[in-house]
Amino acid sequence: MNQVRVNLVLEKDVWNTFRQIVPKREKSRVINQLLKEEIKKIAYNREQEVLASAFQEASKDTNRLTVIREWESLDVDGWEETIL
């Protein structure tokens, strides 16, 4: 596993609590796991923002909306029966 040593600045009370509840040889592993989880959350939220922005832009495209309205008239149930 590739590793890198880092220096961090934490609030004193956060570090003191962390130090008290996490065993000595587990601190790096716990911090690494917490960072992985937080990175996933941040990446997911960014993706959601990009998608929301893209959907909002698409909703303003009048040509796209016209095509969607044309397809709305199709009977979905009829298509499902044909496929099955």
d(CA 24, CA 5): 17
List, for residues 37-74, the tens digit of each pLDDT value: 999 999 999 999 999 999 888 888 888 878 877 787 77
**Can you tell me the mean pLDDT for 15-33?**
96
How many Cβ atoms sit within 10 Å of the Cβ of residue 15?
13
Share of the chain above pLDDT 90, in %: 62
Distances, alpha carbon 10 to alpha carbons 17, 18, 32, 83, in Å: 11, 10, 15, 60
Domain boundaries, the chain: 12-83
How far apart CA 21 and CA 1 sit, in angstroms, is: 26
Residue 79 has pLDDT above 90, yes or no: no
